[in-house]
Chains A and B, each alone.
Chain A
Amino acid sequence: MTPMATGHSAPRTVDDYLRQLRAALEGATPALIQDALADAEDYLREEVSLGSYKPESEILARVVRSFGTPQEVAAEYRAVETRFERRHVRAERTRGKGFFSIAFDPQAYGGLLYALLALPIGIAYFTWVVTGVSLSAGLAVLIIGVPFTLLFIASCRLIALLEGRIVETLLGKRMPRRLPTEERRITGVWPRIRAMLTDARTWSTMFYMVLQLPLGVAYFVIAVVGLTLSVGLVTGPFIEAIVGRNVIFLSPAIDRFADTPLGMGVMMVVGFLLFFVLLHLMKALSGLHARYAEATLVRI
């Protein structure tokens, strides 16, 4: 399909191509837009650099035929996204919607694992940002302050990408696999620093990393309390029988009831149900956290 046939003017420069691609991807998920733009930019700039003796518009006209017009590329990436969603819906349908079908939902277990990892990761992020900001501010008056700040901000970008991979793997949310490419084109130290400091994503990433500490504590507590309580209630009667010692549950009155056969049965059922409630809670929390991560870590 030629650009003329679609009513779009043929892009004459890489920047023009990327602008058209961004426009064609309007409404897609931020992660998809970031990846599509990064892929296209890498490809096009390499092609342009390989044929540097020719005008950019001439190279681009040739490259667009093999790579695809911005509209074709956008359609291809959207098709991938649609297939992701279709597969997700199909998997949800296969699992069913009952209370106990959560047991077969990988996202619930992913959310549980994420909640358990959130505390150590949250501590690491918080420490990194606080140390980095403090040292950047402290060293600002020295020559090494500038490269240090640049390195610190770059490290936050990489951590955001890594966190995106964790979120995608454990929480099932499509996150970028590529870093944004805009800043690679900026030459000079000061323009690059200015671009980094005026980029809202720099600050939203740091905000995310700092907030991961309290959130991580909350997720960890919910996961650990839920797990220990449900496992404790289910296995408590067996452990008492095996160990031969009475384990006091909550209060002496409840403990007396728990020592009866009926009480043991009730405890095990409650513990069993609690585990499923925990899985539902983890899935809901993971969905919310994934959306928050996408809004904070991905810029379009």
Chain B
Amino acid sequence: MNESSHRISAAHALLDSGGFEAETAALAVLANLKAEGRGSARDLLRRIARAAEIAGEPVLPFKHATLYAVLHELEFDGAIQPASDGDRAGRTFVITPRGKAFLALAQERWRSAHLVIRAAAAAAESQRP
């Protein structure tokens, strides 16, 4: 199995096994780390909440503890890694190339899922008398 297909299967394993909240939290973390650089759990929560609020979603679709829990999972999967800050309360993380691959795959999946749902809804609308 080459590196690319290994990454794809690992990403699918991560994405398929989580619940909706955990998956949303995981992808929000990866997307934010990629966009805004390193951050602690606290930083991530603050930055994601701020971005969601600007986008018109004042309430996050997951509990804050979910984000803390998925950070362990993402770290174990090699999608993120701790920056060299040791074990202080605000230990920070950075996204890894593997995490970027996860994110790219997930974004593609969510985009196509969104298109399918929108198309299905539009089809139902057009069939109304």
Contact = CB atoms under 8 A, between A and B. Distances in A.
Interface of A: 35-36, 39-40, 42-43, 46, 66-68, 72-73, 76-77, 79-80, 83-84, 86-87, 90, 158, 161, 168, 174, 177-179
B66 A68 contact: yes
B18 interface: yes
Nearest to B17: A83
Contacts of A80: 22, 69-70, 72-73
Interface in B57-76: 60, 63-66, 68-70, 72-73, 75-76
A72 B76 contact: no
Nearest to A165: B82
B13 A39 contact: no
Q: Helix, strand, loop or mixed for chain B's interface?
A: helix
Given A43-B68, A68-B66, A79-B69, 12 more contacts: A43-B64, A46-B42, A66-B63, A66-B64, A67-B64, A68-B63, A72-B63, A80-B70, A83-B17, A87-B13, A87-B17, A158-B87
A39 B75 contact: no
B73 A39 contact: no
B65 to A, nearest CB: 4
B41 interface: yes
Nearest to A42: B89
18 contacts: A39-B41, A39-B68, A40-B65, A43-B68, A66-B60, A66-B63, A66-B64, A67-B64, A68-B64, A73-B69, A76-B22, A76-B63, A79-B19, A80-B22, A80-B73, A83-B22, A84-B76, A90-B13
A173 B51 CA distance: 36
B66 to A, nearest CB: 5
A112 B41 CA distance: 34
Interface string B1-45: 000000000000110011100100000000000000000011000
Contact of B76 (A43, A161, A174, A178): A174
Contacts of B72: 35, 77, 80, 177
A67 B42 CA distance: 12
Contacts of A87: 13-14, 17
What 4 A-B pairs come out closest when comparing CB atoms? A68-B63, A68-B65, A73-B65, A39-B68
Contacts of A177: 72, 75, 82, 87
Given A46-B42, A76-B22, A161 B65 contact: no
Interface of A is mostly: helix
B96 to A, nearest CB: 14
A89 to B, nearest CB: 11
A274 B99 CA distance: 38
Given A42-B89, A46-B89, A76 B73 contact: no
B100 to A, nearest CB: 20
Nearest to B1: A104
Contacts of B60: 66
B77 to A, nearest CB: 8
A289 B83 CA distance: 28
Contacts of A68: 63-66
A86 B68 CA distance: 20
Contact of A86 (B17, B63, B76): B17
B87 A67 contact: no
